[in-house]
Amino acid sequence: METTETTPTQKHYAIPRYRVCVVREKFDALVAEPPKRLTDSRQVYHALRPHFADAACEEFVMICLDAKHAPIGWHIVSIGSLTLSIVHPREVFKVAVAMNSAAIILAHNHPSGEPTPSQEDRVLTQRLVEGGELLGIRVLDHVVIGDEGRYVSFADQGWLNQGVHS
């Protein structure tokens, strides 16, 4: 009779088991509470401007939102160079899924101070919108932050869901 049990000379292959968790960083009680809902690009700008105030490099961040568009939290996706930050949809949506996000808002700074999105910014945004559609996580906006109160909102400009050549 044949047995399926292993003998002492046979080795088991064990696939490592992992646990994924989200860890909330220390909350600064001196900072104002976030709005109950993020409803426009100006709120996004004011929420993120302190983070970008003296940034010498381009940084790409995301705000994760619940089903009512209340902020769950924000995450730095990438820190780049003076003129570019490499972002891959996998890195964006890994965090969004882990935080049980219903929607996200993207943002990055232009250290030059000029917030006009580049063609690369537009292509990336469209890829992220399409990725979000597949996962059921809406991209509500992508805000490019410049200096002196200047920013450009993809949603305000009507650039979301229009393709990269609009």
Is residue 129 pLDDT above 80, yes or no? yes
Q: How far apart are the first and last CA of the chain?
A: 70
**Nearest C-alpha neighbor of 65 from the set 43, 89, 32:** 43
Task: Fill in the DSSP letter of residue 111.
Answer: T
Q: Which sequence spans correspond to the domains of the chain?
A: 41-157
Q: Which CATH number fits domain 41-157: 2.40.10.10, 3.40.50.970, 1.10.630.10, 3.40.140.10?
A: 3.40.140.10
Task: Fill in the DSSP letter of residue 34.
Answer: P
pTM value is 0.82
Which segment of 5-19, 27-41, 52-66, 130-144 scores lowest on mean pLDDT? 27-41
Instruction: Give whichever of 8-17, 90-99, 156-165 has the largest mean pLDDT.
Output: 90-99
What would the two tokens of residue 50 be?
């302190």
Give the separation between CA 161 and CA 140, rounded to whole angstroms: 10
